[in-house]
Structure 1
């Protein structure tokens, strides 16, 4: 299999939907000071081919197929399907999923955006006990494959009964995204991305901006009597609601906090947003 040196920790098929021309994307670099203040530095647009790349980040050094994660799993099984399910999610005419397989594919496409990022890898590495530090290189190598076979699969199973809601912004506001684009919120709406095992908490809500006008929300479902349907019934509908700039601002503020190093968006809006954000934050 062809060796791929520059591997995308946030895939092009996702970032493309925050681009104005489908080829380039505008960036804001994030730096948190000792006083825990967020400074945002303006950067010129970069090509989608170069955004979020890290050399051999998923390459498996041991084994017969070094590209099993990058090429076989992420490229073939996720990025190959992403455009289809993105179109399905934003299509206002579609209110119901045809099959359980469609639902599983949607969750795999969206939730993998969380598991594959360097920030989430690092949260796992920080949890390794001191008595195993002498094996850290081996553990890091093993985690490349286990983050798919263990972390991602358990993440999907935790939230497989949640409702799917697509929120569309109905004014001139837009969503931005980042190099750590999946937001995990507790029932109070607080961002808890920094806690590694919180993705396996069924009570949490998952929010993912999917383009500059839409975001997807995964949250617990109940029947008409208010009783949870978790592990009872698969909800195959897609709820669709509209929100305004207040909702977009709330999500964008959480995206900035969730970001590791970079925020992404459309140039005109992201410049206007951060010109105001620096005064309010």
Structure 2
């Protein structure tokens, strides 16, 4: 059995779908947080660490069992899942494929070293002085200041990092299984970009959107983005871009009943792409990744649309108002039914609003409502 020391925490089978091909190699473009340079990388050389999943056991035949698990049970299955999801003809999903989609895509959340690095960084901050050119280091532990040699401090850090890694190896699999279980019955939708815009991805590609009632008078965008996210909250919405033109959205199920259909939609708006990409970058740990055009456009778009201008304020305001109107319409549909007079009247009223009339999702819903009305006359 092979001994793969270099281990991808984001599989190449996923990254390759954002890559350009040169001979038998795949290349993506990536930008590191806090840096301006966008560089070209082989998918072989990004989102990879040495011995991240190597088990601390004496038996050499078992050291790489976890890496082989990911390679054989997850990474090798991803191409099948990807082909199924991007095929616009597929709108029915059986339970076997549902399990593959949820298991494979959600594996990209807890298997990344993001949570491990948070623990390591917190511990390293205790030994900040180790960077100084001194023989000894002063640290405060349990309120007491002690002095130790720099070499001893380095040894303590190495040992703590290994302890953290061992905990990560155990706990991330427990969390992953729980994560899959709580999202297995959720609804799914696949959105396709039909124009020149592109999605990016990152070294932490699974984006969690906690539930928020934007119609509530207490709603605050600032509070929404600053809140701590519970990954096991059943009300979360989950997004993961599949390639530069496609994104999978996993939506909470209202009644925990298995639905064997899912939505394929090909008219996602530019502002939706802008918002998804913004959240993908927020969730990234160190890198955003994509095509050369995709990463370049994302960087320039974020600069352009984050400026406080009247045009941008109107764009964001219209987007927020549209979201609220669609939620209110959804509540009326749930209360009165799609064919009700209340829903039909609401659709007529919403058509008069510019920011609704130009929205593809609303136009599609309105045509369904009006089509039902014509058939009932």
Matched, 1:24 2:27: yes
2:231 is matched with which residue? Answer: 199
Q: How does 1:1-281 map to 2 (within 5 A)?
A: 1-21=1-21, 23-31=26-34, 40-62=35-57, 64=59, 65-71=62-68, 73-98=69-94, 100-123=95-118, 137-148=162-173, 150-188=174-212, 190=224, 195=229, 198-221=230-253, 228-230=254-256, 233-241=257-265, 242-281=267-306
Structure index of larger Rg: 2
Query: Which whole-Å CA distance do the structure 2 matches of 1:60 and 1:170 have between them?
Result: 45
1:35 is matched with which residue? Answer: none
Secondary structure at 2:36 match in 1: strand
Q: How far 1:63 moved relative to its partner? A: 5.6
Query: Which whole-Å CA distance do the structure 1 matches of 2:286 and 2:13 have between them?
Result: 20
Query: Which whole-Å CA distance do the structure 2 matches of 1:61 and 1:203 have between them?
Result: 37
Contact map agreement 1:186 1:192 (CA 8 A) in 2: no
Secondary structure at 2:258 match in 1: coil
Contact map agreement 1:172 1:245 (CA 8 A) in 2: no
Q: How far 1:212 moved relative to its partner? A: 0.5
Question: Bigger relative contact order, structure 1 or 2, given CA contacts below 8 A and separation 6+?
Answer: 1
Secondary structure at 1:46 match in 2: strand
> Whose helix fraction is larger, Structure 1's or Structure 2's?
2
Secondary structure at 1:23 match in 2: strand
Where does the alignment leave 5 or more consecutive residues of structure 2 unmatched? 124-140, 143-156, 215-223, 307-377
Where does the alignment leave 5 or more consecutive residues of structure 1 unmatched? 32-39, 222-227
Q: How far 1:5 moved relative to its partner? A: 1.4
Query: Which whole-Å CA distance do the structure 2 matches of 1:122 and 1:63 have between them?
Result: 25
Contact map agreement 1:113 1:181 (CA 8 A) in 2: yes
Secondary structure at 1:243 match in 2: coil
Taking structure 1 as reference, are residues 23 and 191 closer, same or farther at Cα in structure 2, changes over 3 Å only?
A: farther
Taking structure 1 as reference, are residues 139 and 105 closer, same or farther at Cα in structure 2, changes over 3 Å only?
A: same
Paired positions, count: 258
Secondary structure at 1:109 match in 2: helix
Secondary structure at 1:88 match in 2: helix
Query: Which whole-Å CA distance do the structure 2 matches of 1:254 and 1:187 have between them?
Result: 15
Q: TM-score, with normalisation over the residues of structure 2? A: 0.63
Contact map agreement 2:110 2:172 (CA 8 A) in 1: yes
Taking structure 1 as reference, are residues 105 and 80 closer, same or farther at Cα in structure 2, changes over 3 Å only?
A: same
Q: TM-score, with normalisation over the residues of structure 1? A: 0.84
Taking structure 1 as reference, are residues 234 and 8 closer, same or farther at Cα in structure 2, changes over 3 Å only?
A: same
Query: Which whole-Å CA distance do the structure 2 matches of 1:182 and 1:193 have between them?
Result: 17
Taking structure 1 as reference, are residues 124 and 199 closer, same or farther at Cα in structure 2, changes over 3 Å only?
A: farther
Secondary structure at 1:24 match in 2: strand
What per-residue deviation string (whole Å, max 9, x for no partner) do you get for residues 112-150 of structure 1? 11111111334577899x99x9977445314314312x1
Contact map agreement 1:185 1:191 (CA 8 A) in 2: no
